Structure 1
Amino acid sequence: MQLIGILMIILGFALKLDTIAVVVSAGVVTGLVANMNIVEILSTLGEAFVTNRTTCLFMLTLPVIGLCERYGLKAKAIMLIEKAKGLSTGALLSGYSFIREITIAAGVTLGGHPQFVRPLISPMAESAAIVKYGELDEKDLDKIRAHSALADNIGNFFGQNLFMANSGILLIVTTLTSLGIYADPSEKTPVDPMALTKAAIPVAIIAFVLCVGKNILLDKQLSKKYNSKNNDLGGNK
């Protein structure tokens, strides 16, 4: 019977009911089945929320981004790119990936897909291609969106280990220590986070170079396809 809460969550999600209401209701029912009174249930729920409140902070950014989009954030980003007519989609994405990698290496997180890629980077990348080639096929727009996400992922994933206090570096140090792997086994000296950071530098550089290569290839593919198409249309006319 104690697992009835899990069943409620599964059914609630399957029926597309309100997520928060489903989870809270499942928690209350589970507490009642476990012979907890309402005060204990509310206290447990409140304690769990306070303990894990930082995991919910990212949700606050979503309505803020939605409001910004509603009042012209995406349109302003597109207008900005339209003024820079010489800027290609690949150059824009390579520049963003570089900035993403440098900032997170300094311990500064820009946000990621919800806060930057969807409302800003992806529309700007699409607009850069539209300014150069005119109307694009939906398949090519999807490809540009995928490359926008790729630029963020590479900058974030490979740049974060360039910051010695990053959680990824600390996790590696802790894991190696728990496995009995030390920098100096005789004295059981833990692995130096700075040494890990230095080892991550060439990997981050290689990843960035590959990202730039993919963006150059994207530019060439778009140029070949749409310049040829425009030439054919001009010839037909």
Structure 2
Amino acid sequence: MNYWPLAGIALVVVGFALRFNPLLVVALSALVTGVLGGLDPLAVIEALGKAFNDNRYISVTWIVLPVIGLLERHGLQERARTLIAKVESATMGRLLVLYLVFRQITAALGMKDIGGHPQTVRPLVAPMAEAAAERSHADLTTRERERVRAMAAATDNVGLFFGEDIFFAIASILLIQGVFETHGYALTPLQLSVWAIPTAICAFAIHGSRLLAFDRKLGSVRR
């Protein structure tokens, strides 16, 4: 068995670790993987072009960005901060745990685009998490504020990544099914989705505990 094509994975890891341009890293990794797998470089580029052309409708989502920009310009983040500041029981940890639940459940139902960094985290979740942290633990330092924002972004990532595999019609499940089928294992998408549930539960428990621990750490620093 030829394991050289797996070098593309190592290239992705190294490129991201060195903070190179993600698009360049992914494109180069795809080219390297194809060539090491025995494909002609032109065939790899052709496959990339065909995939982009077949999925060009994805670019329609960029239309929503100007709308979000206008909402932010007219005070969307400030409104979100004001709203969460009025909730006495709200803390940064509790808020993000609730968002994690929401993100996982909606992704598991196939509504993976209902959230996301540009349309939800930046204009709503991150400002609300900052406001909750400030209300509970007083003013935040620049480093603490950045960590709160990072936790908000990570919560969206974890919720989507481990929630979407529960939805049996998602592309990742169909890809896994195809790989198993080529090796002689006949599994239905529903069977694979069911086995994604324990992983999603573990991801929720681990990341939820990290959120609450970080919230407590902010409180201990303030005291």
Q: Which runs of 5+ in 2 are unaligned?
A: 1-49
Q: 1:86, CA displacement in angstroms?
A: 1.7
Residue in structure 1 matched with residue 104 of structure 2 by the alignment: 101
Q: Does 1:120 align with 2:120?
A: no
Q: Does 1:54 align with 2:50?
A: no
Q: Does 1:171 align with 2:193?
A: no
Question: CA offsets per residue over residues 110-167 of structure 1, 9 Å max, x none?
Answer: 1311111111100000000111222110110011011101110110000001100111
Q: 1:48, CA displacement in angstroms?
A: 10
Name which one, 1 or 2, has greater alpha-carbon Rg: 1
Q: Which runs of 5+ in 1 are unaligned?
A: 1-46, 184-190, 229-237
Alignment of structure 1 residues 128-167 onto 2, 5 Å = 128-167=132-171
Residue in structure 2 matched with residue 203 of structure 1 by the alignment: 199
RMSD: 1.8
Distance 2:55 2:210 in 1: 39
Distance 1:127 1:203 in 2: 31
Q: Does 1:222 align with 2:218?
A: yes
Residue in structure 2 matched with residue 64 of structure 1 by the alignment: 67
In structure 2, the CA distance between the partners of 1:208 and 1:54, relative to structure 1 (3 Å rule), is same
Question: CA offsets per residue over residues 186-230 of structure 1, 9 Å max, x none?
Answer: xxxxx111110110000000000011100110111100001x2xx
Q: 1:180, CA displacement in angstroms?
A: 2.6
Q: Does 1:83 align with 2:86?
A: yes
Distance 2:156 2:102 in 1: 10
Report % sequence identity: 41
Aligned residues: 173
Distance 2:54 2:183 in 1: 31
TM-score, scaled to structure 1: 0.69
- Report the 3-state secondary structure (helix = DSSP H, G, I; strand = E; otherwise coil) of the residue aligned with 2:165: helix
Amino acid at match of 1:152: D
